[in-house]
Amino acid sequence: MGNKVFIATSLDGFIADKNGNIDWLHENPSPSGNDGGYSDFIQTVDALIMGRGTYETVLGFDCEWPYSKKVFVLSNSLKEVDPSLKGKAEVITGNLRQIVKDLNDQGYRNLYIDGGKTIQSFLREGLIDELIITQVPILLGNGIPLFGELSDRVRLKHLDTKAFDNGLVQSHYTVKM
């Protein structure tokens, strides 16, 4: 089992500005066209679990559905995904440990966990195995933080840090048990 996070933050730790916007993520294009390792990363996962807020943000992108892997939208309020996404995405609800077990039993063993609240919930439950965090060289001052309150410390083991030609810095950690 491997529940992995791959996400970008501002240097001050926010995943979106105070209005929920993420347009600042695209202010530092790579001169070489490097995607920050996303293409390689996405090949290591079987499916994605994202929160409703992240799902709605992705629906608002000016492009086609960007995921080739199955997406599970974690929500207590959303009942179904957009009809155009049938077979590509579905809504799930319930206990996180049971959700992960059920998905693992269906063959989805390496899960990409995305969305601030979802990541925070998985961390609180001890359900994150790896974190790949890319820092964008910008200070937002406020916004939606990546990390929230935890009941216990989460100890990490640093695996690698890379600097990209557009000023982004990416660090890879595993969660120490």
What is the predicted pLDDT for the residue at 1? Answer: 56
CA distances from 134 to 26, 77, 114, 128, 131 (A): 13, 30, 14, 17, 10
C-alpha–C-alpha distance, residues 57 and 11, integer Å: 21
Of 149, 151, 146, the residue nearest 114 (C-alpha): 146
Domains belonging to the chain, first-starting first, are 2-149 (3.40.430.10)
Q: Where is mean pLDDT largest: 1-5, 25-29, 109-113, 152-156? A: 109-113
Whether the per-residue pLDDT at 43 is higher than 90: the answer is yes
For residue range 12-29, what is the model confidence (pLDDT) as tens digits?
Answer: 999 999 999 999 998 888
pLDDT exceeding 70 applies to what percent of the chain? 99
d(CA 97, CA 73): 15
Buried b / exposed e over 34-49, threshold 16 CB at 10 Å, is eebeeeebbeebbbbb
Residue 31 near residue 166, CB atoms below 8 Å: yes
Q: 8 pLDDT exceeds 90?
A: yes
The reported pLDDT for the residue numbered 10 is 97
Note the pLDDT of residue 40: 93
Query: SS3 for the chain, per residue?
Result: CEEEEEEEEECCCEEECCCCCCHHHHCCCCCCCCCCCHHHHHCCCCEEEEEHHHHHHHHCCCCCCCCCCEEEEECCCCCCCCHHHECCEEEECCCHHHHHHHHHHCCCCEEEEECHHHHHHHHHCCCCCEEEEEEECCCCCCCEECCCCCCCCCCEEEEEEEECCCCCEEEEEEECC
What per-residue confidence (pLDDT) applies to 62?
Answer: 84
What is the average pLDDT value for the chain, to the nearest integer?
A: 94
When pLDDT is averaged across residues 51-71 and rounded to a whole number, the result is 93
Residue 126 predicted with pLDDT over 80 = yes
Average pLDDT of 126-153? 95
What are the pLDDT digits (tens) for 81-97?
Answer: 999 999 999 999 999 99
Q: State yes or no: pLDDT of 60 exceeds 60.
A: yes
